[in-house]
Structure formats: structure tokens, C-alpha cells
A = this chain, B = another copy of it.
Amino acid sequence: MSDYLKMSREELAEEFKSVRHEYEHLRGLHLSLDMSRGKPGFDNMDLSGEMFDLVGNDTGFKNISGIDCRNYGGLDGLTELKTLFGKILGLQPDQIIVGGNSSLNMMFDTIAQAMTHGMGGEPWCKQDGLKFICPVPGYDRHFAVTEYFGFELIPVRMTPEGPDMNAVEELVKDSKVKGIWCVPKYSNPEGITYSDEVVRRMARLKPAAGDFRIFWDNAYVVHDLYDEGDRLLNIYDECLKAGNPDMPLIFASTSKITFPGAGVAVEAGSPNNVAMLKDRMKYQTIGPDKLNQLRHARMFRTVDDVKRHMKRHAAILRPKFESVISELVKQLSDTGIAKWTNPRGGYFISLDVLEGCAKRVEQLCANAGMILTPAGATYPYGNDPLDSNLRIAPSYPSVEEIKKASVVLCIAVRYAALEKLIAEKA
């Protein structure tokens, strides 16, 4: 492709004519496509169909400790799942709390607890002007939790190695800064895995707030698209070495391993943190759904079981990601109007278009029957100051749909860029 930024006004007008023609053609197809949310597809969910046969009258309801999983009892989950997640996350089983179907819920509850009961210090709701660090682009539902609780959300830009640690190190000198949201492996939306250097600097932070916490949402810990997955340093080990064992709170879930709505979520951390969380949870709940935990425990007896399962997911997801990337390359390479990531795992691709064009691309796509995650969603308060970032979620539609959607997306990106460039030259 030619570099749009070097085109004359006439060349731009010519290109726009052709792009507009193509766009109108696509619009005429009355497509109905959706790349807005990170939802697994039917075929992904079908991979876990056997789970329904693993707990029933024929199989019994007892876990390896002999607990009848139908009844009350057990606050922190089945022992075999603590062992399994411990191995996956590089932690001891007793550092793991296995919860219900939503790790977001565990993050929310942890912050809610800190609001009313503190995080080892004064309750956060008794303090004013609290702040939370939000690497951008990032996950809208993380940001929304801290927005709900009244934090000022401080964006920090992502680098190809993770959050800009110079900025983070500077920000934590402010005792009002209470935490940071991290998706350290295959980040949402860029698919970036934090480098060893970033993890180490994170672990060595010396925050002014003694109750500062790293919310380490390892949502895609086993979600590799290729045989060779990204490698992420163990944040707990690094924090322990740095004398900060209580700083990280680590989360994971099977939402994208088994079922988004009926998976099993995990929160983990230092013995201190786990004891504090359990002491609070005992007031909150009768305990998690142990039958659903038992289904998971019987399906995944070893980490190898999980890995095998994730390879089957990858076989379904990889062509979807590659379809998007290949269309981006085909239509947008060397145009100078778009940059994107090429993740080796996770659920998203991040696309940066010309400044001021993201909302327009979203609108053009919508008019052609294709729903994108709202532009801006990857920034605190839904406000991308450059109006440039778009999150592409290729997991839910079929490969055929993805291919069509990618064509629409790229045409829309070119359309919006040409509009802008032509207006600038007018």
C-alpha cells in the first residue's frame, strides 16, 4: 500500500473515491457482525461439554478430601483446585482462594473490603482524593470498578514491555495512589506480556501508601495462541525478594478455559493477604459453588490436562486472529494510518488509527453492520484523549464472519483517515 501521509490532495481524493465505493458496496451487503466483546465462540465452549457428565448421581459428589460438594461448608474452595491453580500461578496451594464464577467479582469485593475495612490501614472510604493507576489502553471493566468507588483514575501509557514504569514509580510517591490495574500476560487489549524488567520494577516499587496493591489480573495465564507461549515472571516471587510480599493480589479464572458464565475464579496472594481475605469472606458468603468446582477439578486433574485443553482452544482461535491480522496487513501496511499489535495469546488485538479517527471508524463500521467495542472504552472514563485506539475482539464470530468484518474494519479505517487528511489539506 502507499503511504497516505505522503499523498497529494488529488491522490487522496482519488483514493477516497475508490474506498468510498468499496465501503458503499459493503454497506449494501447488510452485514450483521460483532467484534465488540471478548466472548468465546460456541466451538470454544463445546470443548468443555464433557464437564456436564463429570458430576451427577453416577459419579458421586465427593471431592478428594471426602467433602460432599452439595452441602454447606468450605470458604476457600476445593483443595485439588487450590493445588492446580497453585501450579499454574507458581504459588503454594494455601495461597489460593477458589471462588465463584467471576474474577471481576473477586476484584470488586477486594476493593469494596478495602473501602470499608482498609487494606491493613485506615478504611479507604474514610480518606479523600484517592487515586488508582490505569495502564492505557486497558480493560474497561477494571477501570469501571475503581471509578464506581470514586477513585481518580490516572492513565499511564503502555509500552511494548508493559506499563511505563518511570511514570508508575513517580506516581506511587503520592500516598493517595492506592493501586494499579495490570493484565500482565497478553494484556487487554494489546496482547502485550510484561517484560522481566517491568515485572521486577513493579515488584520493587516503594509506594508512599503502605496499603498500595498491585491488582495482577492474570486472566490469560494459559491462553497461548501458539505452541511457544509468552513467558511471564512470577510477580509473587519477585515481590517476596523485594520485601513486598503483600503488595500483589493475583487473579485468574477459567472463564475462557471452560465457560464464561460458569467458570471458576481465583484470588491469590501472600499468607497475610489470604488470611485477611478469608477473615472477611466468612461474613460475606456461605462459600463458593463447590459442585461447579468439582466439575472443574474432575476435568482438569493436572496442569497438562489444562495445557492440552488450551491447545484445542488455540486451534480454534488462531485462524480468527490471523484472519484479522492478514487483512490489516493487506489493506493497511505502509499506509501510515494504522498500527496494530500481533498478540501471541489472549483475546484481543489493539488497533491505533489516526488521531481523532477512532470514533469515526466505530461509526462507519456500525453503519455497515459491524459492531466494535466503543472507541474510548480502553481508557478511563471511556475517554481516549487522542481518539485513536480500537479494541478488536475476534473470538466470538466464525472465521468467515471475521474475514468479512476485517474487510469492513480496514475499509472504515482508510475511509476515516482519508476524510481527515483531505480535510487537513483543504
Contacts and interface: CB of A to CB of B under 8 A. Distances in A.
A105 B72 contact: no
Interface in A282-323: 283-292
A284 to B, nearest CB: 4
Contact of A52 (B56, B73, B259, B283): B56
Contacts of A288: 101, 261
Interface in A42-81: 42, 45, 49, 52-53, 55-57, 61, 68-74
Contacts of A57: 49, 52
A209 interface: no
Interface residues of A, number: 53
A70 B42 CA distance: 9
A260 B100 contact: no
Given A52-B57, A125-B126, A72 B261 contact: yes
Nearest to A396: B71
Copy number in the complex reads 2
A116 B61 CA distance: 39
Contacts of A285: 102, 104-105, 108
A123 interface: yes
Given A104-B285, A283-B144, A69 B112 contact: no
Nearest to A259: B70
B289 A100 contact: yes
Given A144-B283, A259-B291, 13 more contacts: A40-B71, A52-B52, A52-B56, A71-B259, A71-B261, A100-B100, A100-B101, A104-B284, A115-B125, A145-B283, A261-B288, A261-B290, A262-B289
Interface of A: 37, 39-40, 42, 45, 49, 52-53, 55-57, 61, 68-74, 100-102, 104-105, 108-109, 112, 115-116, 123, 125-126, 144-145, 147-149, 255, 259-262, 280, 283-292
